[in-house]
Chain A
Amino acid sequence: MSAVPSPSHGQINTDLLRPLLKTSWKFFAVVVVLGGIVVAALLAWLSQMFFGFGISGIRWPVYWGFYVTSFVFWIGISHAGTLISAILRLVDAGWRRPVTRCAEVITVFALMIGAMFPIIHLGRPWLAFWLFPYPSERLIWPNFRSPLVWDFFAINTYLTGSVLFLFLPMIPDFAVVRDKSTGLRRRIYTLLAVGWRGTPKQWHRLESAMAIMAIAIVPVAVSVHTIVSFDFSMAPVPMWQSTIFGPYFVAGAIFSGIAGLLIAMAILRRVLHLERYLHPIHFENLGKLLLVMALLWGYFVFNERLVTYYGNEPSEMAVFWRTQRESFAPLYWTMVFGNFVLPLVIMGIKRFRTITGCVIASLGVIVGMWLERFLIIVPSLGHKYLPYSYGIYRPQPVEIIIAGATFAAMALLYVLFVKIVPIISIWELKAGDHQPPDGSHPVAEKRSLREVEG
């Protein structure tokens, strides 16, 4: 437990509103640098559309590469918010309070970035709107039997739900900012606060809405990454047609999401001086969760590979050895180290479960999970059934720039968000002091007039 004393209400307001009300030159420098990288990626994508898809490394028969890897990776990262925010809210874990909004923000932005990739990787992206079911003059609708259409519905549902899940608890905080600001800023936040006054009725409605959303968003999150895994398991490709893909991907998503959250929290704590709010115990708790997910990831990988190995089917074993022993072995073993060995060692030993330790383990997981997505896609596609049609994928600059710039885009969106909204939910942090005494049935303090008058 932390020795830092609990801050007063006024101090909470000051600390958490400081990023909104004060801006230094460092903010603009960071935005310019990150923005520059994002613009470079945009130019890369435009050049891909202009010069033709051939400037990428995609080839026969490896038709999916860095773009789909990034897609699955970012959708995976987006599962951070749901787990921390919704599940911990449902089990009433108090330690979630300073962490929920950080997590929910990651979800929304990671989803937005991930959802760009189904458009970026299209041969004709200007026709992406055909995935939306609308009565077209061609009298044709999307193919609801296709996993890509399931993707469309799932990601949109999850994005809508996550944005609302993020926005609803921000309303009381927007009201606080509204009250503290003047001029144009005040008008903007008045609009965002949608007339919030803080009556008990409003609080109860908000809490009911949050509870329903928390219950609804968890199955949606599970379904989203399961459906993303169906993009692979629905095709008869060696080592893709595995029934384990659904749970495997969901576990991997939660795993990478927690890692992303830990890194974001560590950076925020340092840059915004939130030492009083993000305590080492928060990192330790999340670190334990990271350890559990690492074990779960190892369990799923073991399951998948043992069954393949035992089945000894020629085309599957060819891909199996390709990752484990042959050309992809360096990437494969790096992945195992980053996803399994490193988190187990660092998170498993109490002495290493510090904030720095959590960040190192999380960075390893981020690298490992990206590699895992890549190693699912590329080795299998390059080595299907007919040996004459095997192929080797070599990523080209346009793909590397776009895939790499997504990290800059995430950072940029986060930096801009932190400037506009308090990154720790002010009212939720304070509301932790006003819980009903025994948590289950509120034994509310109620006095009669005679008691009051003494």
Chain B
Amino acid sequence: MKWGMAVDLDRCDGCAACVTACHAENNISTVGADQASRGRAKHWIRVERYWEGEFPDVRLKFRPVMCQHCENAPCEPVCPTYASHHTADGLNAQVYNRCIGTRYCANACPYNVRFFDFFNPSWDKPLHLQLNPDVSLREVGVMEKCTFCVQRIKATTIQAKAEDRPVADGEIKPACAQACPAQALVFGDLDDPESAVSRLSRSSRGSKLLEDRGTKPAVTYLSRQS
């Protein structure tokens, strides 16, 4: 079992529904405009937007970037308390309870997908009723990042085991993949050669982000053709 994702940049239109869904699913607090301008926003998945060219030949490119769950993750060996480590099913796990907040992992991450909790989170009422009980709240001083919605992975795998059947392809959908209206994000088991994500990873349009860094990410980006 090796979880991975494929992102089809041809389908992505930069609507950022994935960002909103991720915030909702994972109890990520918003920080307000002032703090966001100071770089404290915690978008576990973000839509990077690049402008290319000069007016009137301007092109806009979108790229959703989340934790790449690298096989050779540079964030893992540097954590002094094993808060960042690799699980047997290919996820880069962040254990909030072990984190003492040295922020070395965030510096080591070439994709800048790790976020620090600068303040204790707070939600204005009645938004606190919307919190997901399956995801722990993070206190000030710990690092957090995309987990491929590990709570959904765990729930489905446990259910499948109880029902004594394998997990079907497409049964687990992280919040971002579920919310994407263009179905640009595909999640699944890379160890299964017939799964959708495996087939998309083998596509000729496919490449990895910052592949030359040697991190071996589990996310494949299918380049935009138009």
Contacts and interface: CB of A to CB of B under 8 A. Distances in A.
B82 A381 contact: no
Interface residues of A, number: 44
Interface in A62-83: 62-64
A130 B39 contact: no
Given A53-B101, A123-B102, A123-B142, A385 B111 contact: yes
Given A234-B77, A381-B107, A123 B101 contact: yes
A333 B215 CA distance: 35
Given A142-B80, A385-B213, A124 B99 contact: yes
A123 B116 contact: yes
B179 interface: no
A271 interface: no
Interface in B121-145: 139-143
Contact of B103 (A63, A143, A385): A63
Interface stretch (A144-152, A335-343, A436-444): A144-152
A136 B46 CA distance: 37
Contacts of B107: 61, 63-64, 235, 237, 381
A63 B48 contact: no
Interface in A231-250: 231, 234-237
B100 A140 contact: no
Interface string B86-117: 00000000000011111110111011100111
B49 interface: yes
B62 to A, nearest CB: 10
Interface string A381-407: 100111111010000000000000000
Contact of A52 (B77, B104, B140, B143): B140
A312 B156 CA distance: 48
B81 A142 contact: yes
A308 B77 CA distance: 26
A150 to B, nearest CB: 9
Q: Interface of chain A, helix or strand or loop or mixed?
A: loop
A385 B104 contact: no
Give the size range of B's interface with the partner. Answer: 35 or more
A51 B35 CA distance: 14
Interface in A44-67: 51-54, 58-64
A131 B81 CA distance: 7
A127 interface: yes
Nearest to B115: A60
B140 A130 contact: no
A386 B143 CA distance: 20
Given A54-B118, A385-B213, A386-B112, A234 B40 contact: no
A79 B167 CA distance: 59
Given A123-B117, A142-B80, A234-B77, A53 B112 contact: no
Given A236-B213, A387-B50, A148 B112 contact: no
B182 interface: no
Contacts of B77: 143, 145-146, 234
A54 B120 CA distance: 10
A97 interface: no
A61 B65 CA distance: 15
Contacts of A373: none
A122 B108 CA distance: 16
Most buried by A among B49, B107, B119, B120: B107
B81 A124 contact: no
Contacts of B81: 130-131, 140, 142-143
A121 interface: yes
B98 A140 contact: yes
A146 B74 CA distance: 11
Given A54-B119, A60-B115, A148 B102 contact: yes
Contacts of B117: 53, 123
B106 A63 contact: yes
A269 B80 CA distance: 44
Given A53-B140, A122-B101, A148-B102, A131 B65 contact: no
A340 B119 CA distance: 42
B112 A60 contact: yes
A388 to B, nearest CB: 4
B119 A61 contact: no
A32 interface: no
Contacts of B140: 52-54, 123-124
Given A123-B116, A124-B142, A384 B101 contact: no
A63 B98 CA distance: 19
Contacts of A149: 80
Nearest to B139: A124
A384 B107 CA distance: 9
A237 B210 CA distance: 12
A118 B41 CA distance: 25
A125 B142 CA distance: 11
B78 interface: yes
A52 B112 contact: no
Contacts of B22: none
A231 B104 CA distance: 8
Nearest to B143: A123
A47 to B, nearest CB: 13
Given A52-B119, A61-B112, A388-B65, 15 more contacts: A52-B118, A53-B101, A53-B118, A53-B119, A60-B39, A60-B112, A64-B103, A122-B100, A122-B141, A123-B117, A142-B80, A152-B80, A235-B74, A386-B210, A388-B48
25 contacts: A52-B140, A54-B119, A54-B140, A58-B103, A60-B39, A61-B39, A123-B140, A124-B100, A130-B80, A130-B81, A131-B100, A138-B98, A140-B82, A143-B77, A143-B82, A146-B78, A147-B78, A148-B104, A152-B80, A231-B104, A235-B104, A236-B74, A236-B215, A388-B65, A391-B39
Q: Which 10 A-B pairs have the closest CB atoms?
A: A123-B101, A123-B141, A59-B39, A54-B118, A389-B112, A63-B103, A388-B48, A235-B108, A124-B141, A52-B119
